[in-house]
Amino acid sequence: MQRTRGVVVTGASSGIGLECAKWLAGHGFHVFAGVRKEADAARLEKAVPGKISAVLLDVTDAASIKAAVKTVSQCPSDILPYALVNNAGITIAGPLEMLPVDSFRKQIEVNLTGQLAVTQAFLPLLRTHHGRVFLMGSILGRFALPFLGAYSCAKYALQAMAESLSIELSGTGVSVSLVEVGNIATPIWEKTKAVALELAGDLSESRWDIYRDDARAALGYLERLSEKGLAPVRVAQAIEKALTARVAKKKYTVGADSTFLGRVLPVFPPGLRQAILRRVVLRR
């Protein structure tokens, strides 16, 4: 009996996760699409009928993760649970001095701890089928932008997680790859702006004055990024390539900015790198 490879994609309700789910489902895989809302589940299953199974999954909830693993493990016998695409993530923006610690914790919990928790839960199942794990990284895991420090903290740490996991799992039949993306046109930038404005509204006028001009410049920069970003399907195509390769690479970069900036900026002296980023992002 020929079996279809099954892929679990977390954070599949929008952006990169949504495009990954639809693209992989349309190119020979069965996708278990992790979403948090019933409405998103119904919408996804209709997108590619018979090829997407929506799974309610909150990466910060242990019971939800356990239930998702159970659902995938009980899939039809003609589907082989083969890969995990750890895509779920959020962006919390704001000056680190004034970012509520609970907001910082949430950023780390979703983008870092959640990825580890889901990976731990699915590894026994993936190991049985010599599967593959993908962690969704970012070029902001190589250098940090102002007002996105919390996000970069999570992405920097995710690189370390990917490397450690890859070494630890070598010889077990499970490969680990970091997918490092550059500027992708997704709703995450609009959500980021909304979160930043909400934080600004919570700050007293005198405290916000310290960062007002720089924050406006940074938000403008994010708006320009959203207009120039690559289509999310480019990430889906890279993951398909990684899934069909005989041996998956340890790292995949998506976008010219990821390839160039990820290699060049990190090797600049810190003072020079920060001066460049101030000029580009804050325009000063």
Task: Answer whether 191's CB lies under 8 Å from 89's CB.
Answer: no
Task: Answer whether 11's CB lies under 8 Å from 87's CB.
Answer: yes
Cα–Cα distance measured from residue 194 to residue 198, given in angstroms and rounded to the nearest whole number: 6
Cα–Cα distance measured from residue 71 to residue 100, given in angstroms and rounded to the nearest whole number: 36
Point out the catalytic residue in the list 82, 151, 211, 252.
151
Query: What phi and psi values does residue 56 have, to the nearest 5 degrees?
Result: -70, 120
Task: For the sheet with 132-138, list strands across it.
Answer: 52-56, 30-35, 4-9, 79-86, 132-138, 175-181, 251-254
Cα–Cα distance measured from residue 284 to residue 280, given in angstroms and rounded to the nearest whole number: 8
Task: State the first-to-last Cα distance of the chain, in angstroms, to the nearest integer.
Answer: 63
127 three-class SS = helix
Report the 10 Å Cβ neighbour count for 90.
18
Strand positions, DSSP E, the chain: 4-9, 30-35, 52-56, 79-86, 132-138, 175-181, 251-254
Query: What phi and psi values does residue 218 have, to the nearest 5 degrees?
Result: -65, -40
Q: Is 156 a catalytic residue?
A: no
Task: Take residue 282 and report the two structure tokens written for it.
Answer: 């804050």
Active site residues: 151
